């Protein structure tokens, strides 16, 4: 029998188009863990996954986003060994600007292959693949 989920979290696969129309994906660097990841965080008590995802993306990146497809849930053990689920949405940047903060000291906008390569954790990669699928449903024959 699987352990009950102890940590509920949510985040976003944040994207935009550059001047040439190519999709770029936002990755965040967390100095506490010295890793590159997607913006995410723990749900507050009583907070929905979606509200958490929107709040965490804004807090960590400074970007307000338009929420798109519910991408997928990732299950893993956190750094304390607790079972964790992170629910992700596609999120297109609508405005804002990054300012380094306590949780995130750097962000990078990357094309899909570079983003996949930079991610620190293999469990984040399926989220980017799900984003590609979601963007292809928007009618763009070459979303990435």
Q: How far is CA 100 from CA 21, 28, 60, 106, in A?
A: 27, 10, 8, 6
Sorted by sequence, the CB contacts under 8 Å of residue 64 that are 6+ apart come out as 58, 93, 94, 95, 96
Residue carrying the six token digits 């956190």: 78
Walk along the chain (144 residues) and give the pLDDT tens digit of each residue: 567 889 999 999 999 999 998 999 999 999 999 999 999 999 999 999 999 999 999 999 999 999 999 999 999 999 899 999 999 999 999 999 999 999 999 999 999 999 999 999 999 999 999 999 999 876 655 555
Query: Minimal CA–CA distance to 49: which of 29, 72, 28, 27?
Result: 72
Output the pTM of the full model: 0.91
Domain boundaries, the chain: 7-110
**Class of the CATH domain delimited by 7-110:** alpha beta
Enumerate residues 6+ apart whose C-beta is below 8 A from 8. Answer: 42, 43, 49, 52, 84, 85
């Amino acid at each position: 029998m699987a352990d009950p989920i102890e940590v509920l979290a949510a985040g976003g696969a944040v994207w935009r188009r550059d001047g040439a129309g190519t999709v770029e994906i936002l990755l965040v660097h967390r100095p506490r863990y010295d890793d590159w990841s997607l913006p995410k965080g723990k749900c507050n008590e009583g907070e929905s996954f979606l509200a958490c995802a929107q709040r965490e993306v804004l807090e960590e990146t400074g970007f307000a986003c338009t929420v798109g497809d519910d991408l997928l849930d990732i299950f893993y053990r956190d750094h304390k060994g607790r079972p964790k689920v992170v629910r992700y949405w596609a999120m297109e940047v609508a405005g804002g600007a990054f300012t380094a903060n306590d949780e995130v000291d750097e962000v990078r906008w990357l094309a899909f292959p570079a983003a996949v390569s930079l991610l620190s954790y293999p469990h984040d990669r399926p989220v980017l693949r799900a984003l590609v699928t979601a963007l292809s449903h928007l009618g763009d024959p070459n979303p990435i």
